[in-house]
Structure 1
């Protein structure tokens, strides 16, 4: 090995190497780079020439912050007429003190654009409110119709139930008095044979069309009223009391009335 070549295993070579911890130099360099970039950016901001709009804005704000001097011709005329700085406008000094604020228009809309947008927004809001009110009214009407329909169906079922009860009572009371046939077919409940009877032939139906047209179709309510009147007059029996009275005087004296509402 020549003298010019270093011995990598010797102490002299190892002492020349600096003891550098891993990662320390990298972090320091990153921080220095970030600091230099921030200083460079701040320097550019200071040296940057402001645009015309920025200069105009700064000069306008500075002018608005400062009060009018005596050199202003308008202010001088006001002072000659007796106006004093800080005093309200008008003869009595009751007018405005601060100047009218300056509103800079930044968009390209016309003069009445803001009013039109405001009016349009109010119209849309009112239209929305009308739709909400109409929806609420429709929901309320639908609910009321549903309740009315439920009440009607419940009342119809009650009437049909009372009619069946009165038919059974009529058959029983008529049989006790030796009556073998009802005054009307529907005065007594239908038997199973009648329920299962075959429908009439087509020619018989055609022959009876005239009779059916002349006959008045009775509703369950009408039948119930007729049948209960028959039971009260013929048998002195009240369906809702469930009692057979001795005579008409006993019925009139002790029965509340001839309807279901009278017995509630």
Structure 2
């Protein structure tokens, strides 16, 4: 009887032990446990590396992704007043549907600092645009001034060239008609220094004042009019016409611009 009881107790004890099978299943279970341990360690290291702000941001984002639970006291009060999930606020349901967005302040600046920074940035941008605009206008004005100056210089050189050409033509045509003294000293390229010129020295002071007041453009206008009226000659055509009628009929005009075409 004693031996039978001992065998029964032995069998009961063995039945309580877990069924641990040797071999491959045991090795696989150990590997999975080691893998989970390694992953947990990596996760702990990664969490420790995150800053407090990052952890706070992750927690906040996770909370905002979830809707308010029906167990929330505020939500429960709204339901008692007839509110349903997804419905707009207000008696007719025409109010706000989404919650008021949060503006999280993460820096240590005072209230209104962000608005001040924004206004300052806009002012700096406007000032920069004004500087760029003024610079562009200045460059444009400088370029226009340069073009005007070059055009004026070119016109002045052309006027002097036409004046010199008119003086030589006047001297030649006057000489062909027996004229030995020019109508005025500047009608010819050079003033004759002879006895007749010496006789005119008495009037030199009066004529020099009038001559100084004349610009090359004025002299050219007087001289070309003289050549056309007295000699029927046009310096831009380079032709001595038969008479005044022939000049008017065949000459384009009495200015250089009339002869551009």
TM-score, normalised by the number of residues in structure 1: 0.68
Which residue is equivalent to 1:29?
Answer: none
Which residue is equivalent to 2:215?
Answer: 219
Per-residue deviation, 1:141: 0.2
Per-residue deviation, 1:87: 1.8
RMSD value, Cα: 3.4
Per-residue deviation, 1:92: 3.9
Matched residue SS, 2:180: coil
Given that 2:174 and 2:180 are in contact with CA atoms closer than 8 Å, whether structure 1 keeps it comes out as yes
Per-residue deviation, 1:94: 3.9
Matched residue SS, 1:241: coil
Which residue is equivalent to 1:232?
Answer: 228
| Cα distance in 2, alignment partners of residues 47 and 241 from structure 1 | 97
| Cα distance in 2, alignment partners of residues 244 and 117 from structure 1 | 81
Equivalent of residue 254 in structure 1, options 242, 250, 256? 250
1:183-212 alpha-carbon deviations (Å, 9 max, x no partner): 11111112799xxxxxxxxxxxxxx98986
Which residue is equivalent to 1:180?
Answer: 180
| Cα distance in 2, alignment partners of residues 179 and 47 from structure 1 | 114
Which residue is equivalent to 2:32?
Answer: none
Which residue is equivalent to 1:138?
Answer: 138
| Cα distance in 2, alignment partners of residues 47 and 53 from structure 1 | 12
Per-residue deviation, 1:254: 1.9
Matches within 5 A, 1:32-71: 42=42, 45=45, 60=60, 63-71=63-71
Matched residue SS, 2:98: coil
Matches within 5 A, 1:118-129: 118-129=118-129
Per-residue deviation, 1:101: 3.0
Per-residue deviation, 1:143: 0.2
Which residue is equivalent to 1:242?
Answer: 238
Matched residue SS, 1:67: coil
| Cα distance in 2, alignment partners of residues 178 and 238 from structure 1 | 20
Given that 2:185 and 2:191 are in contact with CA atoms closer than 8 Å, whether structure 1 keeps it comes out as no
In structure 2, stretches of 5+ residues that fail to align are 1-37, 194-203
Which residue is equivalent to 1:162?
Answer: 162
Per-residue deviation, 1:45: 4.2
| Cα distance in 1, alignment partners of residues 55 and 122 from structure 2 | 39
Q: 1:70 to 1:163 in 2, by over 3 A?
A: same
| Cα distance in 1, alignment partners of residues 46 and 235 from structure 2 | 106
Indicate the larger mover: 79-88 or 179-188. 79-88
Per-residue deviation, 1:57: 6.2
| Cα distance in 1, alignment partners of residues 46 and 63 from structure 2 | 23
| Cα distance in 2, alignment partners of residues 66 and 233 from structure 1 | 103
Per-residue deviation, 1:135: 0.2
Indicate the larger mover: 215-224 or 158-167. 215-224
Q: Which has the higher helix share?
A: 2
| Cα distance in 1, alignment partners of residues 114 and 70 from structure 2 | 37
TM-score, normalised by the number of residues in structure 2: 0.69
Matched, 1:104 2:100: no
